[in-house]
Amino acid sequence: MDRNTIGMVDDIKKQYEEKMSLFHKIIEDQPDNAEADYHIACIYSRKGQIHDSIKWLNQAIQNGFNRWDLLKTDSDLNPIRNSKEFQTLAKDR
pLDDT, tens digit (0-9, with 9 covering 90-100), for 36-54: 999 999 999 999 999 999 9
- Name the average pLDDT for the chain: 87
Q: Which phi and psi (to 5°) does residue 83 adopt? A: -70, 150
Q: Where are the domains of the chain?
A: 3-90
Residue 28: which H helix or E strand, with range? helix 3-29
Give pLDDT, residue 62: 96
Give pLDDT, residue 54: 97
Quick one: fold of 3-90?
1.25.40
E-strand stretches of the chain: none
CB 23 within 8 A of CB 36: yes
Calpha distance 84→93 (Å, rounded): 15
Kindly report the pTM of this predicted structure: 0.85
pLDDT of 3 strictly over 70: no
